[in-house]
């Protein structure tokens, strides 16, 4: 099954931990970071109320991000759990890598 996101929605595959380039391992149970995930697909961006043109997203597919515990909604597609969040719910971009190590 394929799906297409609308506006500024982002599909994220949550990960158990993430290793930074400096070698620091951030576990998923860290009190500082609620959730870590890899962006697997993005919508086209939100529409401006003034010009009715798309505002491009500031993140890309493959970026490793952190987001709040209650952000978005979790769905299951073909046995894989995916969380769909809005761009505003992203707390930080941890890495521009394709997959966490």
Nearest Cα neighbor of 9 from 88, 95, 99, 97 is 88
Q: How many other C-beta atoms are found inside a 10 Å radius of the C-beta of residue 77?
A: 11
Q: What is the pLDDT of residues 60-99, one digit of tens each?
A: 999 999 898 888 999 988 888 899 999 999 999 988 765 4
- The CATH code of the domain that includes 41 is 2.30.33.40
- Range of 45's domain? 9-95
What is the domain count for the chain? 1
**pTM, whole model, 2 decimals?**
0.76
- For residue 42, is it within any domain? yes
Compute the mean pLDDT over every residue in the chain, rounded to the nearest whole number: 81
- For residue 1, is it within any domain? no
pLDDT of residue 89: 93
Q: What is the pLDDT of residues 27-71, one digit of tens each?
A: 555 554 458 899 999 999 999 889 989 999 999 999 999 898 888
């Amino acid at each position: 099954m394929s799906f297409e996101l609308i506006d500024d929605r982002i599909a994220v595959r949550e990960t158990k931990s993430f290793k930074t380039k400096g070698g620091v391992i951030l576990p998923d149970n860290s009190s500082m970071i609620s959730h870590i995930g890899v962006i697997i697909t993005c919508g086209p961006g939100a529409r401006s109320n003034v010009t009715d043109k798309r505002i491009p997203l500031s993140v890309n597919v493959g970026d490793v991000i952190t987001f709040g515990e209650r952000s978005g909604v979790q769905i299951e597609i073909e046995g894989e759990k995916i969380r769909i969040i809005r761009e505003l719910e992203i707390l930080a971009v941890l890495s521009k890598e394709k997959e966490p190590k």
